[in-house]
Structure 1
């Protein structure tokens, strides 16, 4: 008989084990908590949290994926409408295992596995909002740096055009070439002004976002 990779098998066959875990997950979502042996609770936890992750997506493929395990449509409805909404602010750790006294008779270790329905603390919520605002501000800062770099490149191109025009006049080259260099200089200068204005506007937006985050 093949040896299971995740420890001893909890039932007589793999199919029986999958069915048993599915029934336990159904009871967990329907009641919020169940009491079972510690090995079963540890095996149930990753399955239950994965099903909650599917429920948080909320789309039809996720619902079909969950219904391959949970066959009770009313429990699936509770999972997608109530439990998923309670877990929206969490990024994991949807369940909690608490050890209790051993079972009478065979002295098997028991545990209570339950859904973590408590809302996040105000401090954690503020930290999460601050992290989001910091990401937005960093993105704006990167845009500002890119715009400033483009402005510097344009300014350098304008200086090169000026030097070319001066060299053309000093070496008595064709007047048409000097005029062309002057026109290029005007166009480059206009692009540089436009880029600089855009950089200032992006800097103002980044500053407003940072103030809003504070």
Structure 2
């Protein structure tokens, strides 16, 4: 079983943060965050896109249970997932942008391809 990053938070707080970041990524197409968070967001976003490739009621309910905005869920099923219909993964790109000025945390940009 792979190890998970705790990101210095309790499970419920961590999942809420990841849900919000994945929603924001689908809404805007790109976010800037720390490298560790970007890796977790990438993993969850790719799972949501894979589920959204097949448009049925069960998959819509699964995505709505994770994504926090109904308009973003609609966008995911109508615009984002059909764009990746012929790909088997690799829907996001993480680009390192160097250390943050305040605490030298490694920063990254995560974007949809």
Which of 4, 14, 30 pairs up with 1:17? 14
Q: CA deviation at 1:74?
A: 0.4
Which of 75, 78, 92 pairs up with 2:75? 78
Q: Which has the higher contact order (CA 8 A, sep 6+)?
A: 2
RMSD: 1.3
Which of 104, 109, 112 pairs up with 1:112? 109
How many corresponding residue pairs? Answer: 112
Residue aligning to 2:30? 33
Matched, 1:91 2:99: no
Quick check: which has more Rg, 1 or 2? 1
Residue aligning to 2:4? 6
TM-score by length of 2: 0.94
The runs of 5 or more residues in structure 1 that have no matched partner are 117-214
Distance 1:111 1:71 in 2: 23
Distance 2:55 2:37 in 1: 28
Q: CA deviation at 1:11?
A: 4.1
Distance 1:71 1:83 in 2: 16
Distance 1:15 1:51 in 2: 19
Higher share in strand: 2
Q: Which runs of 4+ in 1 moved over 4 A?
A: none
Q: Secondary structure at the match of 2:66?
A: coil
Distance 1:11 1:103 in 2: 18
Q: Secondary structure at the match of 2:96?
A: strand
